[in-house]
Amino acid sequence: MPIDVGVKGVETYQFQAEVKKVLDIVIHSLYTDREIFIRELISNAVDALEKFRHESLLHKEVFDGHLSLEILINTDEKAHTLTIIDTGIGMTHDELITNLGSIAHSGSQQFLAQLAEAARQDINLIGQFGVGFYSAFMVADRVRVQTRSFRPEERGWEWVSDGSGTYTIAPMDGLRRGTKIILELKENAYEFADPEVIKRAIKRYSNFVPFPILVRGERVNTIQAIWTRNKSEIKDEEYTEFYKFIANAFDEPLYFLHFSADAPLAIKALLFVPKENLERFGFGRMEPGVDLYCRKVLIAKHPEGLLPEWMRFLRGVIDSEDLPLNISRETLQDNTIVRKINQVISSRFLKFLEDEARDNPEKFNNFWNTFGIFLKEGTVNDFQHQKEIARLLRFESSKTEPGKLTSLAEYVERMKEGQKVIYYLNGPSREIIESGPYLEAFRNRDLEVIYTHDPIDDFVMSNLHEFEGKKLLSADQADLELPEEKKEGAKGEEVKIGESLSPDQIKSLTAWLKEILANRVKDVVESHRLVDSPAIVVNPDSGLSSAMRRVMQVVDKKLSQELPHLTMEINPRHPLIRGLDRLRAQDPEFAKIVGEQIFDNALIAAGLLAEPRNMVDRMYRILERVTQ
């Protein structure tokens, strides 16, 4: 609602609170790279032209249908103005309010905080937040937007603001279709009325714009659909330049992949992997970044569902001659050809990654460290490509040097004769895994164990279930069938194995423990894997590891309490367990306390003790007794 209506229907509106904050951030951001406002306004003009081209395919009647699609830039060095005109889709009265008076994206506090931080670090990032238009206020005291929608029944409007709290909208006659943006430059930004400055900025940021840009009547950009050109004719710098243009990036891509195919579809694609993963910096979930074209005509910018979700970090262009031109954005995902494109491109990209991993492992590890999390997501969400993605996963293991990574395929190559299972074990660091009780049995049998450091790794493994026909199993599972234990240590000396409790003693001790831990354990059994530790807890369900339990304890406490109980394994050769068996006869009450404490210690080793209160009290009682 306008806060004021003046003569000639001039309505005054207040900016949405979030816009005010954005304006405040933009106006006060660092003055380096101010020229990026040119890129932002041109990119809006391009969007508007592309939208118009698309709409004109769907509607019979459009306003000013004869106008050629282009961007005209004029400057007036005396009046200190810069004018950017496009013959695009234009805006209606209400669109002006929604598009230029509010923020479509989340206007949440978090979003603004991220934006403020990004603007502080690098104003270049502003376009990625969908607020590029407001960058005009970095250089202008006042911005006028004169616009006429392509819809025949609409009329023209002028939007004016000085970027403080309000803007006005008034009807305006005599406008052509499209949008004219007039910047009344700030005194310290008069240089932007110099056509040479503008031309340089266009060369720098907007050279690949797919419409002619004319500065004072002179054509500036070289329009090329680079992806349709022959690979051998394109220099690396051209790829980089194009990447910077379509991805709003300011550095080089990490990888690029340019290919074309004729069967099963006629496709040309140019895909880029950026250097940075913005999700990792807490900028929120990335939006897909690959555009869909048909014979160089943009069908949809960054459509959802064009590629699998986990590939949202890719930037680039896919062009297919087989697409119908008038396909609407809404029905894209249901289109058979789009689905086929999705299939062809994702397989091709995965193959590219596999080749890269083989030919240049160091660079690939770099990719893995930055984008591995997306591949992991893919193994869980993208069932179709799960197997291919699994080949790209990288982990540390008990056979890699610290910091070095291995693939599952390499693990399989190293597997011992008769070994049927790939083992993995989760822990926050190599040191913690290697000093914990779970690795003992594997070390003793010289079996390799993959180290997973991220709890989501265990979801990945559990989802994969197997790799090249080998089952993936967490080393903290109950139903591990490990080969006969080696009686020799790694260095060849005889391993000292202490005296064990007898089978009868074991039977009676485990039954007793099960009784005292009645509502906390599923079972208590003799361990065949422990060497140096008295006890461990293991997971009865092979789809669930301790790391996954840990996540659930945090994410959904109630659900985690409903999970099946753990099984405790005890080591009948360990002095503590043998001592406990004796203590049971001498002082049953105290033995009970020790038994419970052993269980809690095992939970701690598994990272699963959620409620330490009881344990601490009990520990004091044990310490009291020792110090008596």
Residues within the interface to Mg ion (CB under 5 A): 44, 132
Q: In angstroms, give the least distance from the CB of 104 to ligand ADP.
A: 7
Closer residue to ligand ADP (CB): 125 or 439:
125
From the number of C-beta atoms within 10 Å of its C-beta (0-12, 13-18, 19+), residue 317 rates as: buried
Minimum CB distance to Mg ion smaller for 90 or for 132: 132
CB 174 within 8 A of CB 180: no
68: alpha, beta or left? (left if phi > 0; alpha if psi -120 to 50)? beta
Residue 384's binding partner among Mg ion, ligand ADP, none (Cβ under 5 to 8 angstroms by kind) is: none
Q: Determine the Cα–Cα distance for residues 22 and 100; give it in Å rounded to an integer.
A: 12
Taking the CA atoms of residue 158, residue 161, residue 165 and residue 168 in that order, the dihedral angle to the nearest 10 degrees is -20
Choose which of 36, 62, 89, 311 interacts with ligand ADP (CB under 6 A). 89
Instruction: Report the residue from 36, 72, 100, 318 that binds ligand ADP according to the rule CB under 6 A.
Output: 100
- What number of CA atoms fall less than 13 Å from residue 14's CA on the CB side? 6
Cβ-based burial of 60 (10 A; exposed 0-12, middle 13-18, buried ≥19): exposed
CB of 204 to ligand ADP, least distance (A): 19
Question: Position of tokens 């969400």?
Answer: 381
Sorted by sequence, the CB contacts under 8 Å of residue 241 that are 6+ apart come out as 207, 208
Asked if residue 158 lies in contact with residue 145, where contact means CB atoms within 8 angstroms, the answer is: yes
CA 474 to chain centre: 26
CB of 253 to Mg ion, least distance (A): 21
From the CB of 95, what's the least distance to ligand ADP, in Å?
7
Query: How many residues make contact with ligand ADP (CB under 6 A)?
Result: 16
What's at 185, amino acid-wise? L
Using CB under 6 A as the binding rule, whether residue 99 contacts ligand ADP is answered as yes
Q: β-strands 140-148, 156-161: how paired?
A: antiparallel
For residue 245, the partner it binds in ligand ADP, Mg ion, none, with Cβ less than 5 to 8 A by kind, is none
91 touches which of ligand ADP, Mg ion, none (CB within 5 to 8 A by kind)? ligand ADP
Q: With respect to ligand ADP, which residue has the nearer C-beta, 40 or 448?
A: 40
Pick one of ligand ADP, Mg ion, none as the site partner of residue 97 (Cβ within 5 to 8 A by kind). none
Residue 274: name the closest of 227, 315, 245 by CA: 315
- Closest distance between Mg ion and the C-beta of residue 564, in Å? 52
CA dist list (Å): 553 to 179, 413, 609: 55, 36, 10
Rounded least distance, CB 6 to ligand ADP, Å: 24
Q: Which C-beta is closer to Mg ion: that of 132 or that of 595?
A: 132
Q: How far is the CB of 19 from Mg ion (least distance, A)?
A: 14
Question: CB under 5 to 8 A by kind: which of ligand ADP, Mg ion, none does 210 bind?
Answer: none
- Binders of ligand ADP among 212-251, rule CB under 6 A? none
Restricted to residues 20-59, the positions that interact with ligand ADP (CB under 6 A) are 40, 44-45, 47-48
Kindly write out the interface string for residues 179-218 of this chain, putting x where it contacts ligand ADP by CB under 6 A and - elsewhere. x---------------------------------------
Nearer to Mg ion, 38 or 472 (CB): 38
Cβ count within 10 A of residue 99: 17
| DSSP codes, 566-627 | EEEEE-TTSHHHHHHHHHHHH-HHHHHHHHHHHHHHHHHHTT-----HHHHHHHHHHHHHHH
**Least CB distance from residue 309 to ligand ADP, whole Å?**
21
Residue 289 touches which of Mg ion, ligand ADP, none (Cβ within 5-8 Å per kind): none
Instruction: Report the distance separating Cα 499 and Cα 70, nearest Å.
Output: 88
> What is the closest distance, in whole angstroms, from the C-beta atom of residue 529 to Mg ion in the complex?
60
Of the pair 36, 535, the CB lying nearest Mg ion is at: 36
Nearer to ligand ADP among residue 45 and residue 580 (C-beta) = 45
Which of 193, 165, 219 shows the shortest CA–CA distance to 74?
193
**Sign for the pseudo-dihedral over CA of 416, 421, 422, 425:** negative
CB of 164 to Mg ion, least distance (A): 22
Interaction pattern, residues 154-183, with ligand ADP; x per rule: CB under 6 A: -------------------------x----
Residue number with CB closer to Mg ion (248 or 533): 248
Q: How distant, in Å, are the alpha carbons of 106, 508, 572, 579 from that of 499?
A: 66, 17, 8, 12
Angle 573-579-580 from CA coordinates, rounded to 5°: 100
Q: How many residues does the chain have?
A: 628
Task: Look at residue 353 and give the partner it binds from Mg ion, ligand ADP, none, a contact being a CB closer than 5 to 8 Å depending on partner kind.
Answer: none
Position closest to Mg ion via CB: 132
Residue 99 contact partner, candidates Mg ion, ligand ADP, none, CB within 5 to 8 A by sort of partner = ligand ADP
Q: Which stretch binds ligand ADP (CB under 6 A): 108-116, 126-134, 195-203, 508-516?
A: 126-134
Strand partners, 536: 569
Residue 48 interacting entry, from ligand ADP, Mg ion, none, C-beta within 5 to 8 Å by type: ligand ADP
The span of 86-94, 295-303, 304-312, 570-578 binding ligand ADP (CB under 6 A) equals 86-94
Q: Least distance (Å) from Mg ion to the CB of residue 131?
A: 8
- Smallest gap from residue 135 Cβ to Mg ion (A): 9
CB of 55 to ligand ADP, least distance (A): 12
- Rounded to whole angstroms, the Cα distance separating 628 from 624 reads 6
Structure tokens belonging to residue 177: 């279709």
Does position 83 bind ligand ADP by CB under 6 A?
no
Among 86, 319, 382, 569, binds ligand ADP (CB under 6 A): 86
* DSSP single-letter state for residue 447: -
Which residues of this protein are in contact with ligand ADP, per CB under 6 A? 40, 44-45, 47-48, 86, 88-89, 91, 99-100, 130-133, 179
